[in-house]
Structure 1
Amino acid sequence: MRRILLFLLPLLLVLTACGGASTGKSAGDADVFESVTVSGGSDKKAPKVEFDTPLKVTAPAVKTLVEGDGKAIKAGQQITFNAAFFNAEDGSKLGDTYEGGQPQPLPVDDTLKEQDAELYEVLVGTKVGAQVGYTRPVEEPAEGQEATPQQLVVLKIISAKDPAPEPKILSPEDVSTLDDEGKLPTFKFAKDGAPEVTIPDNEPSKDLVVKVLKEGDGEVVAESDTITANYSGWRWEDGEQFDSSFERGEPAEFPLTGVIEGWTKGLAGQKVGSQVLLVIPGAWGYGDPAPEGRPSGTLVFFVEITGKSAAK
């Protein structure tokens, strides 16, 4: 299963103008879209999609079914989209990402080019606002797993933006300046040690902020280590808490190579026993916008490192 279906399928499982086959860009076995028509819809409302069934999908296929009227997508940009999913065998709608959700991000980068060449080829040069049909043969399920129905996915391209500049780790001097100016989050602690955050009104740093609130006296954590930590996380934008080991009543354990980049870069080099404030830009968090079910934008974490074990 290639990248886009891997990316979209979790959305589908959670969610358990008019055009036909146009002169838009296409790649792969695009004749499969000959009977597909797309009508109505908007950025926030799924279109009506009709086609003769069953669609005989024998090879990957992508086609711009309805032209957009925005700017052309460039290689290296990140698009956002909404999608509607259909059973290619009987035409029934399986779900969509429009209702109550937010547009989903997808980098049109070298990784997509490698993993989903047909989709990459069509997206580059297609205009924002387009409706793009996408399908590929379903792989055989692993033993004991339920078969996934053959799908037709129609993507509505909402936006295309150049990627934000790569963040860096803010210097200790710059962190100290932000702190002195009252531009960093502060914490109060309940009797059980759980933190409550106050986030200032200013815009967050575009770089990774690492502030040691209390230095531990244990071993130094390496990037390859697995750590145990108590932590809480909030969105800078609205102060909403999205995760907390304190609420679960026990610390969490995870390899630093298997977490968001802001954790990896911010906690490597810290000592066991340390309490650390992390302000993580979206590029080193879950993205902005983030995939469905993940917090978007700049994130704030309180992390207390309680232990570590070396990689085996």
Structure 2
Amino acid sequence: MRIRPLVALSIAALSAVVLAGCSGSGEPDADPTPSATPSSACVLDAQPGADSDAIQVTGSGADLTATVPTSLAYEDIQRTIVTEGSGDDLATGDLVSGFYSIYDGSTGELLQDSSETSPDESGAVPILLDEQNYSLFVAALECAPLGSTVAMTIPGSAFGEGASPVVVVAQTADLLPTTSGGADQSPVDGMPTVELDDDGAPTVTIPDADPPTEVQIADLKTGDGPVVQSGDTVFVQYTGVKWSDGSVFDSSWDRGQPSAFSTTGVVEGFQQALEGQTVGSQVLVVIPPAFGYGEGEINDTDLKGETLVFVIDILGVQRAAAQQ
């Protein structure tokens, strides 16, 4: 899949290119913090320029497309807001629905668009403004009003020596909920109990019993969205606790934003809890060590030997792009 290395480009690498363009030399400053008309709410705050202004954007939604001239300079990162939406400015951590197309800047060839990974005929996909894993979309969409269409140009130097420049065209549509909105289901006897606070964050209580030896899954809420398939990227909120003492060891709620990962990139028990579920569902899963991080002596530094309990809100899904 070609898109993953692009969207995962580090914020530091993008910042370095921004700074190189601002300083007028080929060497960025030591401090990788953008200095071109910075905004405290923006990570990069990329500015428009001749390159990004030259991208000809047509259509909207699933018909969003662009014509990329092959004579652009690509000296720095540039972003032009082609049409400004009427919503609030987006910020890191936001989860939105939208559309995108990514082009090879040298040839104008379309590398991928959102219709390839959309779970339905709308062509829309969830887009998470995550600095660590989806920094390309942070650079393109941050500090632009919801509903905007943007064109961004990135020099090949941001991707490594000899890499081609890239053009991103994206349009946002709606903010997506950060909690599941499915229909409540009855609790399952013998499973941990879950209480939600006013924001939807779960508190898990472990039963006074021995942990199970097989994966146990219960639906707390059932959504009516697309079904999660193997290999999909799933956008979730989750909390994980240890059966042994009930302590939280990982939580997207503590980080203040949803997370996203492929169903095939997590431990087996977590994968079982995701695949076959519908967007909008909330799932409770108990994962014995054999389906988690393996058997071993329980200690404070890893999860070997631990039976794990997760509460997972499934917020959105992207299909895996075809290998090319």
Q: State the TM-score, normalizing by the size of structure 2.
A: 0.49
Following the alignment from structure 2 to structure 1, what is the Cα–Cα distance between the partners of residues 190 and 163?
A: 47
Residues 77 and 163, structure 1, Cα contact 8 Å, conserved in 2: no
Pick aligned residue for 2:125 from 103, 125, 147: 103
What corresponds to 2:149 in structure 1? Answer: 131
Pick aligned residue for 2:89 from 73, 87, 94: 73
What corresponds to 1:19 in structure 2? Answer: none
Pick aligned residue for 1:207 from 201, 220, 225: 201
What corresponds to 1:149 in structure 2? Answer: 164
Amino acid at match of 2:88: A
Following the alignment from structure 2 to structure 1, what is the Cα–Cα distance between the partners of residues 209 and 71?
A: 63
Assess, with a 3 A threshold, how the Cα gap between structure 1 residues 133 and 207 changes in structure 2: closer, same or farther: same
Which structure is higher in RCO with an 8 Å CA cutoff and minimum separation 6? Answer: 2
Following the alignment from structure 2 to structure 1, what is the Cα–Cα distance between the partners of residues 170 and 92?
A: 19
Number of equivalent positions: 219
1:92 aligns with 2:103: no
What corresponds to 2:283 in structure 1? Answer: 299
Pick aligned residue for 1:56 from 73, 98, 102: 73
What corresponds to 1:224 in structure 2? Answer: none
Residues 94 and 257, structure 2, Cα contact 8 Å, conserved in 1: no
Following the alignment from structure 2 to structure 1, what is the Cα–Cα distance between the partners of residues 107 and 136?
A: 25
Structure 2: segments with no counterpart, 5+ residues: 11-44, 192-197, 231-236, 264-273, 290-294, 303-324
Q: Give CA deviations for 1:27-56 in whole Å, capped at 9, x if unaligned.
A: 3462212321111131xx141201211432
Following the alignment from structure 2 to structure 1, what is the Cα–Cα distance between the partners of residues 185 and 255?
A: 23
Residues 66 and 130, structure 1, Cα contact 8 Å, conserved in 2: yes
Q: CA RMSD in A?
A: 5.2
What corresponds to 1:267 in structure 2? Answer: 242
Amino acid at match of 2:56: T
1:6 aligns with 2:7: yes
| Partner SS, residue 206 of structure 1 | coil
Following the alignment from structure 2 to structure 1, what is the Cα–Cα distance between the partners of residues 71 and 208?
A: 63
Q: Give CA deviations for 1:111-152 in whole Å, capped at 9, x if unaligned.
A: 58xx789938x732x332211112322347779xxx653211
Residues 52 and 153, structure 2, Cα contact 8 Å, conserved in 1: no
| Partner SS, residue 52 of structure 1 | coil
Bigger-Rg structure (1/2):
1
Amino acid at match of 2:109: S
The alpha carbon displacement at 1:86 in A equals 0.6
The alpha carbon displacement at 1:209 in A equals 3.9
Counterparts in 2 of 1:169-188, with a 5 A limit? 183-186=186-189
Following the alignment from structure 1 to structure 2, what is the Cα–Cα distance between the partners of residues 135 and 116?
A: 11
Following the alignment from structure 1 to structure 2, what is the Cα–Cα distance between the partners of residues 86 and 35?
A: 14
Q: State the TM-score, normalizing by the size of structure 1.
A: 0.51
What corresponds to 1:119 in structure 2? Answer: 139
Residues 95 and 178, structure 2, Cα contact 8 Å, conserved in 1: no
The alpha carbon displacement at 1:234 in A equals 6.7
Following the alignment from structure 1 to structure 2, what is the Cα–Cα distance between the partners of residues 133 and 185?
A: 49
The alpha carbon displacement at 1:78 in A equals 1.2
Following the alignment from structure 1 to structure 2, what is the Cα–Cα distance between the partners of residues 267 and 133?
A: 45
Residues 282 and 299, structure 1, Cα contact 8 Å, conserved in 2: no
The alpha carbon displacement at 1:232 in A equals 5.3
Q: Give CA deviations for 1:85-118 in whole Å, capped at 9, x if unaligned.
A: 111011111111234335223348xx58xx7899
| Percent identity for Structure 1 against Structure 2 | 12
Counterparts in 2 of 1:183-194, with a 5 A limit? 183-186=186-189
Assess, with a 3 A threshold, how the Cα gap between structure 1 residues 127 and 78 changes in structure 2: closer, same or farther: same
Amino acid at match of 1:128: L
Assess, with a 3 A threshold, how the Cα gap between structure 1 residues 7 and 50 changes in structure 2: closer, same or farther: same
Following the alignment from structure 2 to structure 1, what is the Cα–Cα distance between the partners of residues 252 and 76?
A: 36
| Partner SS, residue 46 of structure 2 | strand
Assess, with a 3 A threshold, how the Cα gap between structure 1 residues 304 and 148 changes in structure 2: closer, same or farther: same
1:47 aligns with 2:48: no
The alpha carbon displacement at 1:301 in A equals 0.8
The alpha carbon displacement at 1:216 in A equals 4.1
What corresponds to 2:222 in structure 1? Answer: 237
Residues 88 and 152, structure 1, Cα contact 8 Å, conserved in 2: yes
Following the alignment from structure 1 to structure 2, what is the Cα–Cα distance between the partners of residues 151 and 184?
A: 49
Structure 1: segments with no counterpart, 5+ residues: 10-25, 165-180, 189-203, 218-228, 244-259
Assess, with a 3 A threshold, how the Cα gap between structure 1 residues 283 and 161 changes in structure 2: closer, same or farther: same
